[in-house]
Structure 1
């Protein structure tokens, strides 16, 4: 059977792809580019709806690798049950760190310094001064200390934060200091001025930021979510925002896209960006480098990078 590679980027635009496979361009169009049963390497279309991403998966009877171009893999997990055993699922570690960390800092600074208020005042031709919180001297808690969490810390340090506290699924030590396990969160939340969520969406992190989590945050603290919308309990967050006790900056929401008329749009103290942490000018060159490296490894039967799991294992 002929081995096909399905790419969401036109293969002629990618320099360095290895010879051998038949490259098929598919970015979620209604018609498949070829028989899915002949696809050996499926690169998931980026930022496409769940139904689009999952549509070919029941037909991928010969697939060996499913490659996302996102850091998270939650969008393809429902389709894994339709795949044969032995399929490697790989994520896009190394692609989104710079862009997501950049947006995280932008959201923190915009929220603390009141940039949305300045924009609204400018629209009205009004001069509104006053004192605002600075990021300098703040304690920042990063929940989800993988490669993106580390990139966020890289960008926090020059802003003279008082302390960065790191949290991940399990405890470990890094060059910068300890990483606390999730079980330490109740003790760590009350000291944080800014809480950044950059964790993958899993059963363990769904509604991680629930009513109890939010209640433990200090008065006036800022919650920043650049992870996935369901990591936060939206109803519980709305209750805190309505009191004015907390503020929030959200690049992801639950539901998403956030529908018109949803109370989050009008909640006080919230800044919302439409899931734009990854899609920047930095995405394409990094995504192409990852695909070239992975496909050369695949063709040469070398170990792949970023393997999250193997079906049936």
Structure 2
């Protein structure tokens, strides 16, 4: 993984804990692109990977004849594992569950800001104190959740528990009506969700079907004064179409991901008063990343003991994951 974050993800205490279950490599330093990464796997049975790990291609795995498990101390493994990994029957685990809690907290905060049209209110403050009728609260506002994913479900639950007076909608082709009700939301088609939501929050995975999903036509369905929240993947939203909507002042946007990422320094989205763009910070940051390392270490312990992994990623499930 990237040496800049390795000491946070796997501090000495976690490395000591690891050594109780497995024999660590003689030189457990981090290997990174441009180093002797493939050669370092020569005697490895387990790889703990993280942000910046090179893809496990067939050429890389040729240097790792004994590799049997990959514990990814981060979220998505889509850029890490491919056919070569599955052909070898290597077990793969992701710490996405450990990374979900910060994303959920961040998203709930953004939705709270969005329902009150915080960015527009802050920008208007320069022109004077807003009249009472211009203000917006949560009661009766509709929040639409796109994607009943690991994070999407937790966001729905968090909003329902907040008892803030929201009406909750969810759109996901794989979600049953009854399951939506159990979460505390009503399942609707995506177009209807956009038409009836004051805030639309995206939690779908980036797939061929979802790339560019929020195009000009879909964005136009969100009511005037509405907001789009995206803590999922940038390419799900057509950047040019969203920029046009926000530049007109019709919509607000709260974006932790963009397309491209990062945006050019002079991009309009970075300069509009009704748009908040953050540099992909919703997931575990700073000392929080230790939770990812802890999750990976616990997965190693389970794997060595022959117990089921909590974060196992299968070849069949991978296409539907973020």
Short-chain TM bin: 0.7 to 0.9
| CA–CA separation in structure 2 for the residues paired with 1:100 and 1:19 | 31
Alignment partner of 1:167 is 2:168: no
Match of 1:71 among 52, 71, 75: 75
Match of 2:24 among 22, 28, 32: 22
Aligned Cα root-mean-square deviation (Å): 3.3
Alignment partner of 1:93 is 2:93: no
Superposition pairs for residues 176-255 of structure 1, below 5 Å? 176-177=183-184, 180=187, 184-255=189-260
Counterpart contact for 1:251–1:275, Cα < 8 Å: yes
Higher relative contact order (CA 8 A, sep 6+): 2
Cα 1:177–1:103 shift into 2, 3 Å: closer
Cα 1:115–1:212 shift into 2, 3 Å: closer
In the alignment, structure 1 segments of 5+ residues that lack a partner are: 1-6
| CA–CA separation in structure 1 for the residues paired with 2:214 and 2:128 | 33
| CA–CA separation in structure 2 for the residues paired with 1:299 and 1:141 | 42
Superposition pairs for residues 112-123 of structure 1, below 5 Å? 112-113=115-116, 115=118
Higher helix proportion (structure 1 or 2): 2
SS in 2 for 1:74: coil
Alignment partner of 1:60 is 2:65: no
Higher strand proportion (structure 1 or 2): 1
Moved more, 34-43 or 296-305: 34-43
| CA–CA separation in structure 1 for the residues paired with 2:166 and 2:112 | 15
| CA–CA separation in structure 1 for the residues paired with 2:88 and 2:114 | 46
| TM-score between both structures, scaled by the size of structure 1 | 0.80
| CA–CA separation in structure 1 for the residues paired with 2:163 and 2:36 | 48
In the alignment, structure 2 segments of 5+ residues that lack a partner are: none
Match of 1:144 in 2: 147
Q: Shift in Å at residue 114 of structure 1?
A: 5.5
| CA–CA separation in structure 1 for the residues paired with 2:60 and 2:229 | 39
Counterpart contact for 1:190–1:218, Cα < 8 Å: yes
| CA–CA separation in structure 2 for the residues paired with 1:106 and 1:27 | 36
Q: Shift in Å at residue 13 of structure 1?
A: 2.5
Counterpart contact for 1:69–1:287, Cα < 8 Å: yes
| CA–CA separation in structure 2 for the residues paired with 1:37 and 1:209 | 45
Counterpart contact for 1:104–1:226, Cα < 8 Å: yes
| TM-score between both structures, scaled by the size of structure 2 | 0.78
Match of 1:12 in 2: 12
Alignment partner of 1:300 is 2:305: yes
